[in-house]
């Protein structure tokens, strides 16, 4: 089968197309023929092994897992002897730690995998889970609910577009911050207010919020703390120094820095499916690339200008 592999850390050019052995499902696994996947910021971090802490999970000198990719949408091609939830031909979507930048991948039946939402294409289904699971974990960690004043900084990215929609679902009043080009997209997702950061600095407008979610790792607690209400939370999604700040603010002051480190479950994926089928959530896709152009997709993601998600398509990726 075809797969995008990498044997060393570095720039997008370390990724290459190669023929590799097709995996065989264990008794509790399904073999999925991948029709669409994504290149995410997570893939970019893993490919570069930056920050360095990634190497403690991926391999100190070189990657232990040669195939990147965490999101998938496709059809079940084979099932293990103990599998009962899925059958050959089922259309599925979900998350996996590695390996979805390939034509086939094995996934445990009990993992974050579910039947695809009705009416969604493979490309759309592939673009659901990574941003949504990040946003969901952060909003839950911050106890976002009815009446919460939530500001999402970087509201046009994968996590940001998900956070706007999920914040509204939970009943929050959502202020979204993005650039001029994406104001219309973010407003269409339901944001109560959209701030163009090229025109206005939200930290200087006098407004305060219960929760500020930095969805792209480009803002900071120190810059944002004046815009937090007493007892407010700055939710960090990136940048290691925020771990130190989380420990520090846990003991000092009434404004806190928090992270979410929870694991995505099948229940979460089923929740996303329910929201989509109810018309309460939609994935946002910026660009689509065929698998063999994955290097270009990585370059685009590295540029940090994407709106929503970047999708990789494989043969037969169009929904029937």
Tens of each residue's pLDDT in the chain, 320 residues: 999 999 999 999 999 999 999 999 999 999 999 999 999 999 999 999 987 878 988 999 999 999 999 999 999 999 999 999 999 999 999 999 999 999 999 999 999 999 999 999 999 999 999 999 999 999 999 999 999 999 999 999 999 999 999 999 999 999 999 999 999 999 999 999 999 999 999 999 999 999 999 998 888 888 899 999 999 999 987 755 656 566 567 667 788 888 877 889 999 999 999 999 999 999 999 999 999 999 999 999 999 999 999 999 997 444 33
For tokens 């996996």, the residue is 96
CB 36 within 8 A of CB 313: yes
Task: Let me know whether 238 and 301 are in one domain.
Answer: no
What is the DSSP pairing of strand 149-153 with strand 71-79?
A: unpaired
Q: Say what the pLDDT of residue 253 is.
A: 77
Task: Let me know whether 150 and 83 are in one domain.
Answer: no
Domain of 29 in residue numbering reads as 2-128+283-313
CATH code, domain carrying 219: 3.40.50.720
CA–CA distance, 68 with 102 (Å, rounded to integer): 9
Task: Let me know whether 235 and 292 are in one domain.
Answer: no
* Contacts of 79 by beta carbon, 8 Å cutoff, 6+ apart: 25, 29, 30, 31, 86, 87, 88
Written as six digits, the tokens of 111 are: 């993992």
Task: Let me know whether 11 and 123 are in one domain.
Answer: yes
| Full-model pTM | 0.93
Q: Say what the pLDDT of residue 218 is.
A: 80
Judged by phi (left if over 0) then psi (alpha if -120 to 50, else beta), residue 87 lies in beta
Task: Let me know whether 93 and 157 are in one domain.
Answer: no
Instruction: Evaluate whether residue 101 is within a structural domain.
Output: yes
Q: Say what the pLDDT of residue 90 is.
A: 98
* Counted domains in the chain: 2
Task: Let me know whether 141 and 245 are in one domain.
Answer: yes
Q: Say what the pLDDT of residue 25 is.
A: 98
Q: Say what the pLDDT of residue 315 is.
A: 75
CA–CA distance, 150 with 209 (Å, rounded to integer): 6
Task: Let me know whether 123 and 136 are in one domain.
Answer: no
* Contacts of 103 by beta carbon, 8 Å cutoff, 6+ apart: 1, 2, 3, 22, 33, 34, 291, 314, 315
Instruction: Evaluate whether residue 36 is within a structural domain.
Output: yes
Instruction: Evaluate whether residue 109 is within a structural domain.
Output: yes
Instruction: Evaluate whether residue 275 is within a structural domain.
Output: no
CB 224 within 8 A of CB 257: no
Instruction: Evaluate whether residue 213 is within a structural domain.
Output: yes
Instruction: Evaluate whether residue 268 is within a structural domain.
Output: no
* Contacts of 289 by beta carbon, 8 Å cutoff, 6+ apart: 39, 296, 297, 310, 311, 312, 313
CATH code, domain carrying 26: 3.90.180.10
Instruction: Evaluate whether residue 225 is within a structural domain.
Output: yes
CA–CA distance, 304 with 307 (Å, rounded to integer): 9
Task: Let me know whether 289 and 178 are in one domain.
Answer: no
Task: Let me know whether 99 and 207 are in one domain.
Answer: no
Instruction: Evaluate whether residue 180 is within a structural domain.
Output: yes
Count CB atoms within 10 A of the CB of residue 28. Answer: 16
Q: Say what the pLDDT of residue 319 is.
A: 36
Task: Let me know whether 101 and 150 are in one domain.
Answer: no
Q: Say what the pLDDT of residue 64 is.
A: 95
Task: Let me know whether 117 and 138 are in one domain.
Answer: no
CA–CA distance, 97 with 128 (Å, rounded to integer): 15
Task: Let me know whether 309 and 252 are in one domain.
Answer: no
Dihedral pair phi/psi, residue 208, rounded to 5° = -125, 155
């Amino acid at each position: 089968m075809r797969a995008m592999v990498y044997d060393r850390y570095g720039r997008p050019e370390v990724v290459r197309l190669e023929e590799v052995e097709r995996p065989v499902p264990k008794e509790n696994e399904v073999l999925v023929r991948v029709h669409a996947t994504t290149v995410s910021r997570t893939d970019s971090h893993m490919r570069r092994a930056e920050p360095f802490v990634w190497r403690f999970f991926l391999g100190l000198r070189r990657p232990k897992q040669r195939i990147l990719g965490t999101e998938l949408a496709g059809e079940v091609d084979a099932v293990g002897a103990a599998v009962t939830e899925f059958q050959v031909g089922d259309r599925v979507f979900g998350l996996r730690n590695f390996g979805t930048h390939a034509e086939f991948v094995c996934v445990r039946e009990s993992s974050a995998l579910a039947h695809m939402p009705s009416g969604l294409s493979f490309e759309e289904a592939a673009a659901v889970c990574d941003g949504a699971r990040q946003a969901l974990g952060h909003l839950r960690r911050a106890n976002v609910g009815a009446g919460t004043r939530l500001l999402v900084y970087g509201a046009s990215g994968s996590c940001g577009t998900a956070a706007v929609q999920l914040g509204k679902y939970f009943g929050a009043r959502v202020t979204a911050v993005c650039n001029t080009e994406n104001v219309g997209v973010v407003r269409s997702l339901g944001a109560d207010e959209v701030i163009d950061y090229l025109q206005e600095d939200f930290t200087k407008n006098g407004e305060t919020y219960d929760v500020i979610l930095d969805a792209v790792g480009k803002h900071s607690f120190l810059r944002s703390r004046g815009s937090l209400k007493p007892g407010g939370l700055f939710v960090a999604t990136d940048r290691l120094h925020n771990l130190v700040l989380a420990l520090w603010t846990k003991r000092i002051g009434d404004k806190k820095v928090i992270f979410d480190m929870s694991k995505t479950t099948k229940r979460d994926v089923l929740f996303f499916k329910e929201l989509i089928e109810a018309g309460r959530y939609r994935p946002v896709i910026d660009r689509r690339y065929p698998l063999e152009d994955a290097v270009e997709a990585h370059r685009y993601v590295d540029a940090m200008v994407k709106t929503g998600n970047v999708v990789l398509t494989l043969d037969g990726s169009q929904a029937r």
